[in-house]
């Protein structure tokens, strides 16, 4: 009775291909997912000219799915995994362990970075002291800066991240309603390097939904950190993602529509209109910055003061 | 106990000023509303250089509020009311009656236009034959065209419409998610004339919410058509307005934020980037058009064929 709509085997169909409205087995879902990732990578020329590729892997379902899918789809491409231990109790150590196991299993080079050890504070320190509403934003700044710095200092020319459609649409939605055109112009599948110390970034999962990443992780039996980050609960980011799902109930395919509209209709205009910022080197760390001191160094000294005074 | 938070009289406070979170009496609400309309008109220079002003009045709460507020705020300004009878049974005649009474009470010149009589079809003819989903769009095209034509032929240089914040945000939201930049560039409080046969348009209620218009109509004891247009039920427009109210539950002040972002952040870019369309004169009616035949004439002949074949 319950056959996979694709391969017609008797294997229990567990996954719904939403756009095709088909129930498929885990093997067929994995193939569908990998094909879609491959198409995205090729469509945007993500791996064109890449010499040394790094993957930013947190241990969550998205980045684990990214690593696994790339191994499957482009078996000849070598990459290194960079993992940041953010020092969040009952969470970060589990993340690191999962990533370490994966790298061992597939013989992938791993670069580990311990935030508390090298920078003197953890994301938890901030989240615990300041409003939890802002912690995701702070964590984003820290991760973006460190990923780029580590990749740059280790000679990588491209970083792949696991940002998926839900992540990008949550960001786009906020930037559009606030008219943040200087930031909108930077939201794209491939961000070229604009400075010798800024590493090119690619987002191979930009067209995959949260749910598709999850289904893929399950269908490939991946190990990933199953608990949510304990700091994310009640964050604006989570509420916005929920809101976007509500909008999608009313406007089918809203997420993909917003991405497509951004890339095809607004981005060409934004790229013509918004002048690229003049970058200098941060007085503290030497990395590229718009201001005298970069946002990471400003944030770090603020958090360090908070930690000392607490 | 229950005093108006503004004037402190004993009159029962019935209306909440949402942004100030105050309960006020009907007289204070009306003053607040009129002051806000006045500020909007002055801020955008809506009445600057106007010689002959026409008001598009449907008989609904918004346009009745507009007419009443303008009389109160700018008592020295003369205007004519244009009313279209759209031929919707159990609705349009009531609308017309309300507008006629209002004009009589305040000695305002009234221009009446009967769609069925002059064009051979009513909006009901379309809504009754074709999908109700599209009827609001069709009605919008018909009203925009006819209002402009009547105003032009009668020598008016400015038309004021009752579009409020909820109307504009519903339009903006759809245009943004679809990336309709050629239409977005035209959404503004004052649309200058871009052709000798296109009359300048102003939207004095662009910052007023649906609810504020309703409260004003109640507080000034206005007569307005209280039933909803029978064709609007289940339309995409209504569903989108509901969705926007849901978004506002999560993002306070979302509607005003979207308007402000559009006007301040995107419009300057759109005006620079989007080329104004080359206008010719419609082969059928002689009014300005992008194509050989204008959208109104195309639509009219389509509806007339539908009516004949039905």
| DSSP structure string for A261-290 | HIIIIIHHHHHHHSPPPPPEE-TTT-SEES
Q: Do A247 and B251 touch (CB under 8 A)?
A: no
Q: Specify the pLDDT at position B124.
A: 87
* Chain A CB contacts of B178 below 8 Å: 257, 261
What integer is the mean pLDDT of A41-51? 98
Nearest CA in chain B to A270: B269
Evaluate the CA torsion angle A223, A226, A231, A235 in order and state its sign. positive
* Chain B CB contacts of A251 below 8 Å: 177, 243
B19 vs A80, more confident: A80
Candidates B235, B253, B265, B270, partner chain A, best to mutate (most A CBs within 10 A): B265
Instruction: List phi, psi (to 5°) of B203.
Output: -125, 80
Nearest CA in chain A to B251: A240
Residue A224 has pLDDT above 90, yes or no: yes
Q: Do B240 and A250 touch (CB under 8 A)?
A: yes
Q: In angstroms, what separates the C-alpha of A260 from chain B's closest C-alpha?
A: 9
Q: Do B178 and A240 touch (CB under 8 A)?
A: no
Q: Do A177 and B240 touch (CB under 8 A)?
A: no
Q: Do A250 and B239 touch (CB under 8 A)?
A: yes
Closest CA to B212 of B29, B74, B44: B29
Candidates A251, A257, A270, partner chain B, best to mutate (most B CBs within 10 A): A251
Q: In angstroms, what separates the C-alpha of B250 from chain A's closest C-alpha?
A: 7
CA distances in angstroms from B173 to A218, A278, B216, B237, B243, listed in the order given: 36, 33, 26, 11, 10
Alpha-carbon torsion angle B242, B243, B249, B252, nearest 10: -100
Tokens of B26: 């009907």
Using CA atoms, how far apart are residues B50 and B48, in angstroms rounded to an integer? 6
CA distances in angstroms from B54 to A270, B2, B158, B189, B195, listed in the order given: 38, 41, 6, 16, 18
Number of H helices, E strands in chain A: 13, 10
Q: What is the pTM of this model?
A: 0.93
Tokens of A167: 């992540």
Q: Which of A240, A251, A269 sits opposite B269 (nearest CB)?
A: A269
Q: Specify the pLDDT at position B131.
A: 61
Q: Specify the pLDDT at position A132.
A: 60
Nearest CA in chain B to A250: B243
Q: In angstroms, what separates the C-alpha of A115 from chain B's closest C-alpha?
A: 33
Q: Specify the pLDDT at position A131.
A: 60
Q: Do A177 and B258 touch (CB under 8 A)?
A: yes
What integer is the mean pLDDT of A104-130? 90
Chain B positions with Cβ closer than 8 Å to A: 176-181, 239-240, 243, 246-247, 250-251, 254, 257-258, 260-262, 264-266, 269-270, 272-273
Nearest CA in chain B to A251: B240
Q: Specify the pLDDT at position A48.
A: 97
Q: Specify the pLDDT at position B136.
A: 84
Closest CA to A81 of A162, A188, A196, A138: A162
Residue A129: pLDDT band with limits 50, 70, 90: low
Centre a 10 Å sphere on the Cβ of residue B296 and count the other Cβ atoms it contains: 21
**Look-up: residue for tokens 């791996």?**
A47
Radius of gyration for the alpha carbons in chain A, expressed in angstroms and rounded: 20
Q: In angstroms, what separates the C-alpha of A249 from chain B's closest C-alpha?
A: 10
Residue A134 has pLDDT above 80, yes or no: no
Tokens of B287: 């009014």
Angle at B41 between CA B37 and CA B44, to 5 degrees: 135
Using CA atoms, how far apart are residues B151 and B158, in angstroms rounded to an integer? 8
Q: Specify the pLDDT at position A13.
A: 72
Q: Specify the pLDDT at position A2.
A: 77
Using CA atoms, how far apart are residues A207 and A210, in angstroms rounded to an integer? 10
Residue A8 has pLDDT above 90, yes or no: no
Q: Specify the pLDDT at position A245.
A: 95
A5 vs A289, more confident: A289
Q: In angstroms, what separates the C-alpha of A246 from chain B's closest C-alpha?
A: 9
Question: How many alpha carbons lie under 13 Å from residue B37 in its C-beta half-sphere?
Answer: 31
According to DSSP, the β-strands at A280-281 and A288-289 are antiparallel
Distance spanning both ends of chain B, measured CA to CA: 62
Q: Specify the pLDDT at position A1.
A: 58
What integer is the mean pLDDT of A176-203? 97
Q: In angstroms, what separates the C-alpha of A261 from chain B's closest C-alpha?
A: 5
Percent of all residues in chain A with a pLDDT value above 90, rounded to a whole number: 79
**Is this complex's ipTM strictly greater than 0.85?**
yes
What integer is the mean pLDDT of A144-166? 98
Q: Write out the E strands in A139-187.
A: 158-160
Closest CA to A65 of A191, A225, A190, A258: A225
Q: Specify the pLDDT at position A3.
A: 84
Domains of chain A with bracketed CATH: 26-276 (3.40.50.620)
- Span of A174-183, A245-254, B45-54, B126-135 with lowest mean pLDDT: B126-135
Candidates A261, A262, A267, A271, partner chain B, best to mutate (most B CBs within 10 A): A261
What contacts 24+ positions apart, CB below 8 Å, involve B14-21?
A: B14/B218, B14/B219, B15/B215, B15/B219, B18/B209, B18/B211, B19/B253
Nearest CA in chain B to A181: B265
* Chain A CB contacts of B259 below 8 Å: none
- pLDDT per 10-residue tile (average), chain B, 310 residues: 80 77 90 97 98 98 98 97 95 97 98 95 79 78 97 98 98 97 97 96 98 96 92 83 95 96 98 94 97 95 86
Q: Which of B177, B181, B265 sits opposite A269 (nearest CB)?
A: B181
Q: Do B177 and A251 touch (CB under 8 A)?
A: yes
Residue A128: pLDDT band with limits 50, 70, 90: low
């Amino acid at each position: 009775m319950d056959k996979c709509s694709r391969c017609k085997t008797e294997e229990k169909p567990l996954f719904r291909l939403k756009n095709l409205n088909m129930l498929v087995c885990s093997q067929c879902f994995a193939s569908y997912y990998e094909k879609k990732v491959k198409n995205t990578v090729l469509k945007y020329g993500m791996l064109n000219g890449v010499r040394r590729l790094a993957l930013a892997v947190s241990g969550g379902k998205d980045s684990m799915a990214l690593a696994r899918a790339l191994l499957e789809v482009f078996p000849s491409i070598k990459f290194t995994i960079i993992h940041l231990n953010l020092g969040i109790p009952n969470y970060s150590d589990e993340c690191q362990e999962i990533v370490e196991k994966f790298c061992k299993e597939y013989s992938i080079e791993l670069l580990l970075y311990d935030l508390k050890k090298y920078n003197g504070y953890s994301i938890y320190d901030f989240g615990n002291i300041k409003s939890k509403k802002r912690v995701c934003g702070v964590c984003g700044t820290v991760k973006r800066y460190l990923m780029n710095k580590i990749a740059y200092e280790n000679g990588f020319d491209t970083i792949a991240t696991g940002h998926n459609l839900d992540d990008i649409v949550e960001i786009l939605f906020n930037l559009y309603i606030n008219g943040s055109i200087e930031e909108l112009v930077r939201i794209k599948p491939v961000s070229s390097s604009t400075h010798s110390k800024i590493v090119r970034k690619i987002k191979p999962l930009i067209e995959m939904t949260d749910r598709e990443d999850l289904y893929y992780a399950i269908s490939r039996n991946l190990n990933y950190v199953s608990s949510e980050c304990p700091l994310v609960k009640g964050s604006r980011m989570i509420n916005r993602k929920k809101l976007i799902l509500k909008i999608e109930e009313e406007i089918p395919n809203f997420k993909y529509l917003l991405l497509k509209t951004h890339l095809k209709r607004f981005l060409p205009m934004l790229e013509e209109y918004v002048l690229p910022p003049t970058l200098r080197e941060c007085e503290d760390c030497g990395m590229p910055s718009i201001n005298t001191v970069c946002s990471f160094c400003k944030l770090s000294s603020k958090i360090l003061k908070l930690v000392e005074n607490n």
